[in-house]
Amino acid sequence: MKLFIDTANVNDIRQAAEMGILSGVTTNPSLVAQEGRDFIQVLQEIIDIVDGPISAEVVSLDAESMVKEALPLADIHKNIVIKVPMTAEGLKAVYQLAKRGIRTNVTLIFSANQALLAARAGAQYVSPFIGRLNDISVDGVELISDIAHIFDVHAIDTEIIAASIRHPIHVTQAAKAGAHIATVPFEVLDQMIKHPLTDRGIERFLADWSTLHKK
């Protein structure tokens, strides 16, 4: 399973990219709003940091306007993927964009049927939201494994991005359930690095090493 970072914070993206773990980036309107910066400028900076798919979401609600919004975004760079919400209008936009060779990521997926529809409309990626399903007491990981099973049985090559990741266990579970990608907030990537036994191990190695020079 590949790892994307789920943020519009360029500093966080840079830090994660320096570790060589990143295959792409996802943003959404809330994440962009949090930064309070010009969206296009942010995208340009991300493009310079990460050489992989970078999702930029449209905010229009009808297909024609979504496509109109998507075209200049897709023109910025070949790595830009247009993120489209899972609605009937969104599916029409995905279909139109696919015909132009523009990759899409259908977001706000909460059921296997939504994922199947998005794939059939021509989406390159679907983003089932694990955390938001957990919030309403539904098993988001089970959804990932249902979608993975359906895509496998029917030889659908749309990739599954496990989204709305809230903690490291979600990442492990998504990988085991067959997600191709998990898009992970910086804080969760940081938690994934750490383990108390690693810290304790380093401390002990250094303490033992320091005795060597005293001998």
DSSP string, 40-75: HHHHHHHHHH--S-EEEE---SSHHHHHHHHHHHHH
Interface with ligand E4P, residue 29, by CB under 6 A: no
Site string for ligand E4P, 55-94 (x = CB under 6 A): ----------------------------------------
> How many other β-carbons are positioned within 10 Å of the β-carbon of residue 209?
9
Classify the C-alpha dihedral 153-127-72-48 as positive or negative.
negative
Query: Least distance in Å: CB of 45 to ligand E4P?
Result: 18
Site string for ligand E4P, 92-121 (x = CB under 6 A): ---------------x--------------
Task: List the one residue from 39, 47, 71, 131 that touches ligand E4P (CB under 6 A).
Answer: 131
CB 25 within 8 A of CB 55: yes
Which of 2, 68, 78, 83 is labelled catalytic? Answer: 83
Q: Structure tokens of 29?
A: 């309107």
Query: Least distance in Å: CB of 22 to ligand E4P?
Result: 14
Which residues, 6 or more positions from 50, have their beta carbon under 8 angstroms from its beta carbon?
13, 17, 22, 24, 25, 79
Interface with ligand E4P, residue 183, by CB under 6 A: yes
Query: Of the listed pieces 15-23, 44-52, 129-137, 138-146, which binds ligand E4P according to CB under 6 A?
Result: 129-137
Task: List the one residue from 164, 177, 179, 188 that touches ligand E4P (CB under 6 A).
Answer: 164
- Nearest Cα neighbor of 115 from 149, 89, 69 is 149
214 is catalytic: no
Percent helix, strand and coil across the chain, each rounded to 5? 55, 20, 25
Interface with ligand E4P, residue 124, by CB under 6 A: no
The residues carrying an active-site annotation are 83
